[in-house]
Amino acid sequence: MAGTIKIKLVRSPICTPEKHKRVVKGLGLRKLNQVVVRPDSPVFRGMVKKVPHLLEVVE
């Protein structure tokens, strides 16, 4: 899939600031180990960089 990235939620956002929770929800992630496919754009790359301790980019 060219032009897309797979993002996986690897840690819970429970004890994180509200902004981090909103970023995770904005990506469409709700459950641990859930993987979503999003377009590979600067918007989504920036969201991943905001919470790198919670997410993982799956190759």
Query: Whole-angstrom Cα distance, residue 47 to residue 7?
Result: 11
The CATH number of the structural domain formed by 4-58 is 3.30.1390.20
The residue extents of the domains of the chain are 4-58
The pLDDT assigned to 59 comes to 82
End-to-end, the C-alpha distance of the chain in Å comes to 11
The string of pLDDT tens digits covering residues 7-48 is: 999 999 999 999 999 999 999 999 999 999 999 999 999 999
Rounded to two decimals, what is the model's pTM?
A: 0.90
